[in-house]
């Protein structure tokens, strides 16, 4: 596949994944399974960090808002980068998993900073 413009870059990156996933049903199941595992683990990380930060007050409200702002930025970037014509639902798994990982990383950094 030739890259002739900026809009061809996502197809150039993700089209081989599409071909690999369509080659065999096991490959498709691996793609979906790793996405689900990543999504569940990222939600568990966020849940644990929310529990560790404590009840909602002035301090934690700003932390939660900033963490979800980072998640929104990651969702928007993934919306631009991921293809919208094939494997849409599978890439949604990864989009939300990456967003929750970004929120968890921010909350973990904030938690470590406050505990020192």
Residue 84 lies in a domain: yes
Residue 1 lies in a domain: no
- In the chain, the number of structural domains is 1
Residue 29 lies in a domain: yes
What is the predicted pLDDT for the residue at 116? Answer: 78
Section 19-48 average pLDDT: 93
pLDDT tens-digit profile of 71-92? 999 999 998 888 877 877 888 9
Domain extent at residue 24: 7-115
Residue 2 lies in a domain: no
Residues 8, 15: contact at Cβ < 8 Å? no
pLDDT tens-digit profile of 92-111? 999 999 999 999 999 999 98
Section 32-47 average pLDDT: 95
Residue 80 lies in a domain: yes
If you average pLDDT over every residue of the chain, what do you get?
88
What is the predicted pLDDT for the residue at 1? Answer: 62
Residue 110 lies in a domain: yes
């Amino acid at each position: 596949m030739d890259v002739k413009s900026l809009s061809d870059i996502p197809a150039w990156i993700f089209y081989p994944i599409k071909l690999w996933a369509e080659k065999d049903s096991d490959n498709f199941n691996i793609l979906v399974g790793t996405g689900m595992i990543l999504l569940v683990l990222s939600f568990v990380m966020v849940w644990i960090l929310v529990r560790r930060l404590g009840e909602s007050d002035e301090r934690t409200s700003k932390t939660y808002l900033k963490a979800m702002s980072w998640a929104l930025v990651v969702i928007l970037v993934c919306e631009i980068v991921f293809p919208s014509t094939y494997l849409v639902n599978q890439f949604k798994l990864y989009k939300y998993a990456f967003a929750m990982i970004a929120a968890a990383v921010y909350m973990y950094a904030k938690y470590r900073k406050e505990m020192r």
